[in-house]
Structure 1
Amino acid sequence: MNYPNKVIKTGETNSQVVKAIQQRLIALGIGALQGTGTYGPKTVAAVKQFQALHRDKFGNPLIVDGEVGAITWEALFDVPAEPHTDAPNALLAKAIAVAETQIGVMEEPPGSNRGTQVNAYLASTNTPPGNYWCAAFVYWCFKKAAADLGIPNPVYKTAGCLDHWNHTQGQKITTAKAINNPSLIVPGSIFIKNHGGGFGHTGIVTAVSGGFIETIEGNSNPNGSSNGIGVFRLKFRKINSIEKGFIIYG
């Protein structure tokens, strides 16, 4: 059974989906379940037990909450989610293609928020060298993509992640909605993280795989930290780690 694009938890009315979860847990010898199709306290306890004993596909412990979201579903049924890599429109596809050409760009020197290409990203948003540049990288990629397609760039012009979220005219998808239904996120979406204090991080989604996204990010590191040294492709971000949400243009 494929993930039903919603978090399965207490009160779930789709008994067929609940029974599938219960039968899988019974087959694994977890929980004192009878497969009634009712997501009650015993099912919550069994799911928590499974989560405490298992890890996601990247080896990270599962969140023990008694709910079956996309990541727990993938681990429970041991069926890897098929990556969704098709952008829904020409602009998003082109923006991904442009971003891919920038993978490997590094600050000069590392840690300076400067460099020939980094300065170009910042300049595209009228921001001087030496500033954080992840949002400027996103804007630059979309600006070049739109120019190549001969269309206006719809992305809000800013080097600020949260400024982008607050002023965009694109479609916003909150993290809560994306966790419940990962299919709402499409390749070419822009993710917005919120680190507090007015700071954040952003990048371009290149693929969606269950509860995970693959991304290309500027001002990042191989481990995905913000204010990093270059442009990297990352494959391990969880949808539930994106504090603000996602923006879709086009």
Structure 2
Amino acid sequence: MNYPNKVIKAGEKNSQIVKAIQQRLIELGIGTLQGTGTFGPKTVSAVKQFQAMHRDRFGNPLIVDGEVGAITWEVLFDNGVPEEHEAPNTLLAKAIEVAESQVGVMEVPPGSNRGPQVEAYLASTNTPPGNYWCAAFVFWCFKKAAADLGIPNPVVKTAGCLDHWNRTQALKITTARAINNPSLVVPGSIFIKSHGGGFGHTGIVTAVNGGFIETIEGNSNPNGSSNGIGVFRITFRKINSIEKGFIIYG
């Protein structure tokens, strides 16, 4: 059975989906289930037991919450969730292509928020050198993509992650909606994280793998941290780690 693009939890009305989960847990010898199709306390307990015993594809412990989201589903059924690598429109596809061409760009010197290409990203948003530049990198990628396609750039001109989220008129998918239905996130989406105090981080989604996204991020590090030293491809971000959500242009 394919992932139903929603979190399955206590009170779920689709008995066929619940029965499939229960049958799989029974096969694994977890819990004391009868396969009734009712997601009650015994099923919650069995799912929690399964989650406590297993890890995701990157070796991280599953969140023990008794709910079957995309990541738990992938591990439970050992068949994954269909991966999406194709952007839904030419602008998003071109922006990914541009971003990929920048992977490996580094600050000069590291830790300075400066360097020829970094300053070009910042200049595209009229932001002085030395500032945080992840949002400027996103804008620069879309600006170049739009120019290559001969169309206007619809992305908000800003070096501020949360400013982008607040001002954009494009489609916004909140994290809560994305967790429930990862298929709403598409390659070419722009993720927006919020760290509090007006600070955040952003990048471009290049692929969606169930509850995970692959991204290209400026002002980052190989571990995906914010205010890093270059442009990196990150393969292990979870949708539920993106505090604000996703912006989709086109």
TM-score with structure 2 length normalisation? 1.00
The Cα offsets for residues 10-56 of structure 1, whole Å up to 9 and x where unpaired, read as 11000000000000000000000000000000000000000000000
Give the aligned partner of residue 95 of structure 2. Answer: 95
Aligned residue for 1:161? 161
Specify the alignment match of 2:105 in structure 1.
105
TM-aligned CA deviation for residue 104 of structure 1: 0.1
Q: Does 1:58 align with 2:58?
A: yes
Q: Does 1:79 align with 2:91?
A: no
Distance 1:81 1:203 in 2: 23
Aligned residue for 2:25, secondary structure, equals: helix
Identity of aligned residues (%): 86
Instruction: Write the deviation string for residues 121-166 of structure 1: whole angstroms up to 9, x where unpaired.
Output: 0000000000000000000000000000000000000000000000
Structure-2 separation of matches of 1:121 and 1:46: 50
Q: Secondary structure at the match of 2:20?
A: helix
1:176 and 2:195 correspond: no
Aligned residue number for residue 198 of structure 2? 198
Aligned to 1:126: 126
Distance apart, 1:235 and its partner CA? 0.5
Residue type matched to 1:70 in 2?
A
Q: In the comparison of the two structures, how many residue pairs are matched? A: 250
How much has 1:113 moved relative to structure 2? 0.2
Q: What's the offset of the Cα at 1:169?
A: 1.0
Deviation at 1:74, TM superposition (A): 0.2
Give the ranges of 4+ consecutive aligned residues of structure 1 lying more than 4 Å apart after TM superposition: none
2:31 aligns with 31
1:249 alignment counterpart = 249
Structure 2 counterpart SS, 1:228: coil
The 2-side partners of 1:207 and 1:117 are apart by 25
Aligned-partner residue type, residue 136 of structure 1: A
Q: Any gaps of 5 or more consecutive residues in structure 1?
A: none
| Structure 1 position 94, deviation (Å) | 0.2
**Structure 2: distance between partners of 1:82 and 1:163:** 33
Paired with 2:37 and 2:80, the residues of 1 have a C-alpha distance of 24
2:120 corresponds to which letter in structure 1? A
Deviations 1:85-138 (A, max 9, x none): 010000000000000000000000000000000000000000000000000000
Query: Unpaired segments of 5 or more residues in structure 2?
Result: none
Q: CA RMSD in A?
A: 0.4
Matches of 1:31 and 1:210 in 2, distance apart?
26
Query: Displacement, 1:82?
Result: 3.0
SS at match of 2:67: coil
Q: Could you tell me which amino acid in structure 2 is paired with residue 135 of structure 1?
A: A
Map Cα deviations across residues 52-101 of structure 1 (whole Å, 9 max, x no partner): 00000000000000000000000000112332001000000000000000
